[in-house]
Amino acid sequence: MRYNRSFSARLTSAILFNTSILFLAAITVVSFFSHRLIGEEAQNSAANALRSTKLDIEQTLREVEVATGELQWVILEHRDDTAMMYHITRELLESRPNIVGSAIAFRSEYHAGKHFFSPYSYRKSQSDEILSKQLGTPQYDYFQMEWYTAPMKSGKPHWSEPYFDEGGGEQLMTTYSVPLKDEKGETFAILTADINLEWLSEKILATKPYTNSYTILIGKSGHYISHQDPKKILNDNLFSEAKRSDNKNLAGLAHKMVAQETGVEKFRLNGDIVFAVYGPVGDAWSAAIISPYKDVFAPMMRMNLIIILVAAFGLFFLFAACVRTIRKLTQPITEFSVVALNMAKGNFKARLPEVKTQDEIRKLHDSFEYMQKSITSYITELKSTTIQNERFESELNIARKIQMGMVPQDFPERPDCHLSALLRPAREVGGDLYDFVFRGDFLYFAVGDVSGKGVPAALFMAMTRSAFRFLAARETPPDNLTALINQAISDGNENNMFVTLFIGKINLKTRHFEYCNAGHNPIIIISSDGTSEFLHAKSNIAAGIISGFNYQAEEMDLAPHSRLLIYTDGVTEAEDNSKAQFGDERLLDFTRAITPDEKPQEIVNQLYTKIKEFTGDAVQNDDITIFSIELDS
């Protein structure tokens, strides 16, 4: 298997991804709110600038109005003193530096013979010197001038529209005209004050909250009184400019300004998004500060850029730190995986990576160490157990061979008697036994079953069989034989082992049969006529239990061609998988099916096959012994 993406790469990607999202979200949210805040702040600050400018301008104009107002009574009182009239105009100029000219224009013939009596004082251009002269001349017929006619007609003070002073250096001027009324309320003259509006322009142009913002001041009809482009002053008009650029928003702004409204407009102008804060100045004018948003937000954009750069740098640093830290942290895991692989290959002593931390890796290390130790010790134990088992097994195999050698495997061919036997221990060695001895005309035989199985039973079996073989060598009757065997094995039988025995003695000539049953299963006698039945012998007690027990034998005469079947309870108690036992009935049925010509060997083998068929694949739970004798004439 190939490992394309390392753990650290995946973890780092995940951390970076999430952190970037977090950064972006934070920047977006901060941007959004600061954008709004800065937008509002910009409008407020523009509105404040506008208000301050408006107040400045209005104060200057008000001063002019106040100054002229104060003079009305002086003029009324000295209206006939023509020299005084010159004096008054001169004094007005002296006291008010922002008034550049002042005239008192009397009605025609107010002073007898004086058609154009109009004393006029003015400042000589480029100097502080104040000159006086008669304003009205046939060439300058002021009775036709608006500054004269308008207040004369309305009886109220009048501010003229701004104009360029043609004689006084092309400066922007406006004239304030006040009607002077006599005691009857009739206007007898017009007092004027010419005001230079250059300062206005300066003030307006200085109102510049942002680098690219500019302020305009327009008059009643929309024409510029102040504009950053001096050529436009009085020569251009906000309406016509809106029309030229086909900008409806600008036209809307112009309408609102002319209507003396106050407010904020946001619109697109010459490709930039701008906002205009506007409001009236004086009775007839209106000012607007137009600022492009890019100026307003430029610092924020710069700030954002810095934040993004810092974030990017931070992310890069984080990436490097993550990679390094995670690599360092996961290094042992990589090493552990190598160790695990080595261990899987059988190298249980593979050196573990060193861990200095006290964390999960430490735990892993300790677990590995524990695993190594326990596997090593387990393997060692397993090896020794295996060796031991092998030794046991080989010893058991030898024991089995010895045990099988203890029961006769060869059955002598005789004319008067045929024998066959089979012993199948449930384990390697068992507690069943059979044996026989021919002595003269007599056949001595024994079949036994030691309680229990395995090695203890095998030892007891060996003892029993040796006792039988030794004792059967002397022609002793079966009861004595059994008693002697019982005596031999009872002594020192601490474990209360016992053996059921069937001991028989047949006179092969007379077919006289003596037998002693020491707690053993009844044998079966198969007659030559095909009938077979259990031989219910007197039940003595199994051997090995009671030392000195008085065993009793019985006797009978067997018919010619009788066959005997002696077995252990491993036959009748053989169990199938459902724990059903082979039982006496099946055994008896089997013997009844035996034909007269079947020899002991066939009987033994067939019965064993029958038992195996019955038990199927169930584990053999007891030793099986089958022993068959056929008497011949």
Partner 1 sequence: MKVTINQEGNKYSVTLEGRVDTTNADQFQKDVAVLMEASQPDIEIDCSAMEYTSSQGLRIFLQLQKNVTAHQGNLVLTRMQPHVKEVFDITGFSNIIKIM
Least gap, CB of 437 to partner 1 (angstroms): 25
Is there a contact between 279 and 287 (Cβ–Cβ < 8 Å)? yes
205 Cβ contact partners less than 8 Å away, ≥ 6 residues apart: 214, 215, 226, 228
Facing residues of 289 across strands? Answer: 215, 277
Collapsed DSSP state (helix, strand, coil) of residue 318: helix
**CB-nearer residue toward partner 1: 498 or 590:** 498
Burial class (CB in 10 A: 0-12, 13-18, 19+), 134: middle
Least gap, CB of 518 to partner 1 (angstroms): 7
Nearest-angstrom CA–CA distance, 101 and 41: 42
Least gap, CB of 548 to partner 1 (angstroms): 13
Nearest-angstrom CA–CA distance, 355 and 333: 10
Best CA proximity match to 515, nearest among 481, 485, 561, 541:
481
**CB-nearer residue toward partner 1: 435 or 623:** 623
**CB-nearer residue toward partner 1: 57 or 545:** 545
Half-sphere exposure (Cβ direction) of 49: Cα atoms closer than 13 Å: 26
Is there a contact between 222 and 239 (Cβ–Cβ < 8 Å)? yes
Least gap, CB of 6 to partner 1 (angstroms): 56
Q: Is the dihedral of CA 137, 139, 140, 143 positive or negative?
A: positive
**CB-nearer residue toward partner 1: 497 or 524:** 497
477 Cβ contact partners less than 8 Å away, ≥ 6 residues apart: 505, 514, 553
Least gap, CB of 326 to partner 1 (angstroms): 57
Nearest-angstrom CA–CA distance, 608 and 627: 11
Q: Which helix (H) or strand (E) holds 454?
A: helix 454-472
**CB-nearer residue toward partner 1: 453 or 465:** 453
Least gap, CB of 447 to partner 1 (angstroms): 14
At residue 188, φ and ψ (nearest 5 deg) are -110, -20
Least gap, CB of 347 to partner 1 (angstroms): 41
Least gap, CB of 542 to partner 1 (angstroms): 5
**CB-nearer residue toward partner 1: 353 or 583:** 583
Least gap, CB of 598 to partner 1 (angstroms): 27
List b or e across 354-379, with b for residues whose CB sees 16 or more CB atoms inside 10 angstroms: ebeeeeebeebbeebeeebeeeeeee
Q: What residues line the site for partner 1 (CB under 8 A)?
A: 426, 449-453, 495-498, 500, 518-522, 539-542, 545-546, 569, 573, 579, 621-622
SS3 per-residue string spanning 104-148: EEECCCCCCCCCCCCEEEEECCCCCCEEEEECCCCCCCHHHCHHH
**CB-nearer residue toward partner 1: 88 or 446:** 446
